Amino acid sequence: MKTGKILVLNGPNLNMVGVREPAVYGNKNLESINSTVYSYAAGMKINCEFFQTNCEGELIDKIHSVYKEYDGCIINAGALTHYSYAVRDAIAAVDKPFIEVHLSNVDAREDFRKVSVIGPVCVGSISGFGVNSYLLAVNAMRDLI
């Protein structure tokens, strides 16, 4: 079985999941989501590390760290997904697989959420399955690392 180390990155406002718009993002907090993802990935011999930030620059620094420290990255960039060319360029700069995830179905929401500027530089995107979006991404990552 393959082994590997991946980074699960969450951007702005994802620290508020659980209390933030529960009808959209569910009742689980980020700690509980991360723990579910950690166990699921461990079952596939994938070691997950987690990082959340509300700062665009910190998110970019962490994306850069994937180059040397990780085999791949699952990223929920929050609203930065929809407009941050800086996050897009950071992902493009790192020659490792990135998978875009969203808890909510961004295509079924406001028009501004239907645009992802990071999607084209990720291997693929998974949206709308709550915590399962992350688990599906781990499953896909298994074949990429």
Binding site for ligand DQA (CB under 6 A): 13, 76, 78-79, 81, 102-104, 106, 113
What are the residue numbers of the active site? 25, 102
Q: How far is the CB of 5 from ligand DQA (least distance, A)?
A: 23
For ligand DQA, which is the closer residue by CB, 91 or 106?
A: 106
Neighbours of 3 (CB within 10 A): 10
For ligand DQA, which is the closer residue by CB, 67 or 104?
A: 104
For ligand DQA, which is the closer residue by CB, 67 or 83?
A: 83
- Exposure letters 35-58 (e unless 16+ CB within 10 A, then b): eebbebbeeeebebbbbbbeebee
Q: How far is the CB of 16 from ligand DQA (least distance, A)?
A: 9
Question: Do the beta carbons of residue 49 and residue 10 sit within 8 Å?
Answer: no
Q: How far is the CB of 143 from ligand DQA (least distance, A)?
A: 23
Residue 56 CA to residue 83 CA, distance in Å, equals: 11
Residue 85 CA to residue 42 CA, distance in Å, equals: 33
